[in-house]
Amino acid sequence: MTVLAILRWPSDRLRDVSEPVTDEELHSEALRTLVRDMHETMLARKGAGIAAVQVGVPKRLFLKLHDDSLIDPPTSIAFVNPVLVSASVERETEEEGCLSVSGVSLPVERAKSVVLHALDLDGKKFTTEAMGTYARVLQHEMDHLGGKCIPDGLSQAQRDMMRRKLKSRKWTRRR
């Protein structure tokens, strides 16, 4: 297994809208290898989720770290071709981090609960109803699949300030 390089904001590649995983890809060893490598990358970077586009693969695929801290080693749940079915009207704003914007947390408003349909790695359909932090992580990863990253919601002046801050910390831009 390999720890993959993560694209860093403001890389233009993070704005790629992810394409659906095809049936052929779903049943390939290449996809299973990608998922294993994404899992290792997420653990190495201490993330709660990771989208394929963050490692340069613009496919509708993301992982969410399993919430049960008693599982050793930690596992993750793969969401293939996820679709947001519904989101609650009730919203909340919380600080949110991102593997592509390491070391920075931003306030992000999200729905308190969501329902997603997706496929697992065996191609079986499943539905997830999520609230709280779980719902927040799912929405965050869905944003990545749509070509959005949390700094994109900032004003131009805030994004410019963030770029300067990241640059001063020797943050290197990877394309």
Q: What is the distance between the alpha carbons of residues 174 and 9, in angstroms, rounded to a whole number?
A: 8
**Under 8 Å between Cβ of 53 and 13:** yes
Q: Cβ contacts of residue 28 below 8 Å, gap of 6+?
A: none
Cis peptide before 107 (omega within 30 of 0): no
**Under 8 Å between Cβ of 121 and 47:** no
141 is catalytic: yes
How many other CB atoms sit within 10 Å of the CB of residue 144?
Answer: 25
Q: How many residues does the chain have?
A: 175
Q: Which of 19, 24, 95, 141 is catalytic?
A: 141
Q: Where are the beta strands (DSSP E) in the chain?
A: 49-51, 61-65, 76-87, 91-96, 106-111, 113-119, 125-131
How many other CB atoms sit within 10 Å of the CB of residue 9?
Answer: 23
Q: Could you list the active site residues?
A: 141
